[in-house]
Amino acid sequence: MINYPNGKKASAKISKKTSASGRGMRLEEDINQTNTYYLNLGKAVLHKKPTPIQVVNVDYQKRSAARISEAYYRTPSTTDYNGVYKGKAIDFEAKETQSKTSFPLSSIHEHQFQHLEAVLAQGAIAFVLVRFTYYEETYYLEASQLLALAKNSKRSIPYSWFQEQAVLIPYSLTPPVDYLKAVDAQLLKEKQK
């Protein structure tokens, strides 16, 4: 496993970002498991993109394995996940918040908003999976909803808004985050337009 920026905390023996129930920061892991489940069943091909890393120095002493000796994490210019489902391009981001009251839009980078806008314009199914770790709830937020809220210069989306307007993804064991059901609902809705 790669140590993603989130994972750094774990490997450095700092585990502040764990929710009351001990399930904090696990959204990425849950989505990866879900994607493997979909892949094995032949339901969809969805992957997390590798974390972008700027390599500065590489040692070539051993020919078999070039050792990167200096590198830095870069800010992603797209969303973290994409792939294909029923011929449609799927593109999404996943975010966790520890807040009990709202999801801060600052956790999505400006170029990620632009990316979501661009893929929507190309007809992709785009969304954000937002997990409120305190409630252990994961919501499916359509990218079009997110962009509309961001354009009204909202700084955050209240938890109550999610309860009323977004789709709650029921937690299950296999797969942990069965978000394709919400994708199906969105595909159906778009067909009926």
Residues that bind a second copy (CB under 8 A): 1-3, 8, 11-12, 39, 42, 44-45, 47, 49-56, 58, 60, 65-74, 77-78, 82-91, 115, 118-119, 121-124
Other beta carbons within 10 angstroms of residue 76's beta carbon come to 17
In whole angstroms, how close is the CB of 60 to a second copy at the nearest point? 6
Q: SS3 for 158?
A: strand
Among residues 47 and 181, whose Cβ is nearest to a second copy? 47
Among residues 79 and 97, whose Cβ is nearest to a second copy? 79
Residue 8 one-letter amino acid: K
34 φ, ψ to 5°? -65, -45
In whole angstroms, how close is the CB of 73 to a second copy at the nearest point? 6
How far apart, in whole angstroms, are the C-alpha atoms of residue 22 and residue 112? 29
In whole angstroms, how close is the CB of 178 to a second copy at the nearest point? 17
Structural tokens at position 57: 């120095």
Among residues 72 and 152, whose Cβ is nearest to a second copy? 72
In whole angstroms, how close is the CB of 130 to a second copy at the nearest point? 22
Structural tokens at position 16: 């502040």
Among residues 39 and 105, whose Cβ is nearest to a second copy? 39
Among residues 125 and 157, whose Cβ is nearest to a second copy? 125
Residue 176 one-letter amino acid: P
How far apart, in whole angstroms, are the C-alpha atoms of residue 129 and residue 179? 8
In whole angstroms, how close is the CB of 121 to a second copy at the nearest point? 6
Among residues 126 and 157, whose Cβ is nearest to a second copy? 126
Report the run of H or E that residue 48 belongs to, with start and end: strand 45-48
Other beta carbons within 10 angstroms of residue 165's beta carbon come to 14
Q: Which residues contact 178 (CB under 8 A, 6 or more apart)?
A: 34, 169, 170, 172
In whole angstroms, how close is the CB of 107 to a second copy at the nearest point? 19
